[in-house]
Amino acid sequence: MESRCESCIIRQFNSLRAMSKEELKEVSDSKTIKKVKKGDPLFEEGDKLNGVYCVRNGVSKLSKLSANGKDQIVKLATKGEVIGQRSVISEESANLSAIAVNDMEVCFIPKETIINTLQKNPNFTLEVLRHMAHDLKEADDVIVNISQKTVKQRIAEAFLYLKNNFGEDEEGFLALTLSREDISNVVGTATESAIRIISEFKKKGLIHASGKKIGIKDERKLQELVEGF
């Protein structure tokens, strides 16, 4: 697997594309590649981060534990996304935990390299800003969805989101397989409630499932459900 940032394709998808050749060289020289096993944390809420993580492979959930012991998943980060930049920029400890949903390969980039470039290269800073603006919009939309839509609508929406953002495998199942508990934590509901609604969707022919794997059968009806029919 290619290990020089300069020739890394993933870079095209994130703010690192705004870096100069020299800056990329610095990143490449200072980065380390890490493998993270399914279920293991990249970092946890409250940790002080010494750098950011660029996802090469796999998916990480960004979540926060609440007083009652339930996790709320705020975002799913996949190939090409950079995790931990918010904490590094704000110079605060991590607000969220990042846990591998499946086996991952990530590049760890020390914060000095990032901060250095932020101070020198306005294009890079602007690019990071654009990404953060996008994340903020998404977060605002999640707020509106959670508070205004029913659990059923949110689960339907989650399936459509998974299809659009992670695609399907050869057999037509969602490429990203989440446990029922993870689904309930994305949607912000009790696990049993999520399971019940998933069963209902199966009975109604909106989705089909084989073990954990879920496939979308009737995208239009799911979409209608989201919009409130």
Partner DNA sequence: TTTAAAATATGATATTTATCAGTTTCCGTT
Partner DNA sequence: AACGGAAACTGATAAATATCATATTTTAAA
Among 17, 25, 79, 86, binds its own copies (CB under 8 A): 86
Q: Please state the three-class secondary structure of the chain as a single string.
A: CCCCHHHCCHHHHCHHHHCCHHHHHHHHHHCEEEEECCCCEEECCCCCCCEEEEEEECCEEEEEECCCCCEEEEEEECCCCEECHHHHHHCCCCCCEEEECCCEEEEEEEHHHHHHHHHHCHHHHHHHHHHHHHHHHHHHHHHHHHHHCCHHHHHHHHHHHHHHHHCECCCCEECCCCCHHHHHHHHCCCHHHHHHHHHHHHHCCCEEEECCEEEECCHHHHHHHHHCC
**Is 75 an interacting residue with respect to DNA (CB under 7 A)?**
no
Q: Using CB under 7 A, which of the segments 3-11, 76-84, 101-109, 173-181 binds DNA?
A: 173-181
Q: How far is the CB of 146 from DNA (least distance, A)?
A: 10
**Is 125 an interacting residue with respect to its own copies (CB under 8 A)?**
yes
Tokens for 19? Answer: 């870096």
**Is 150 an interacting residue with respect to DNA (CB under 7 A)?**
yes
Q: Using CB under 8 A, which of the segments 3-11, 50-58, 92-100, 156-164 binds its own copies?
A: 92-100
Distances (CA, A) of 111 to 8, 56, 77, 84, 115: 20, 18, 19, 10, 6
**Is 175 an interacting residue with respect to DNA (CB under 7 A)?**
no
**Is 66 an interacting residue with respect to DNA (CB under 7 A)?**
no
**Is 147 an interacting residue with respect to its own copies (CB under 8 A)?**
yes
Spatial contact of 36 and 58, defined as CB atoms under 8 Å apart? yes
**Which CB sits closer to its own copies, 2 or 140?**
140
Among 17, 25, 70, 221, binds its own copies (CB under 8 A): 70
Return d(Cα 164, Cα 37) in angstroms, integer. 25
Q: How far is the CB of 177 from DNA (least distance, A)?
A: 8
Q: Using CB under 7 A, which of the segments 6-14, 16-24, 137-145, 174-182 binds DNA?
A: 174-182
Q: Using CB under 7 A, which of the segments 97-105, 113-121, 129-137, 179-187 binds DNA?
A: 179-187
**Is 130 an interacting residue with respect to its own copies (CB under 8 A)?**
yes
Among 25, 79, 110, 142, binds its own copies (CB under 8 A): 142
Q: Which of residues 162-221 bind its own copies (CB under 8 A)?
A: 188-189
By CB under 7 A, name the binding residues for DNA.
Answer: 68, 150-152, 179-181, 188-193, 195-196, 198-199, 209, 211-212
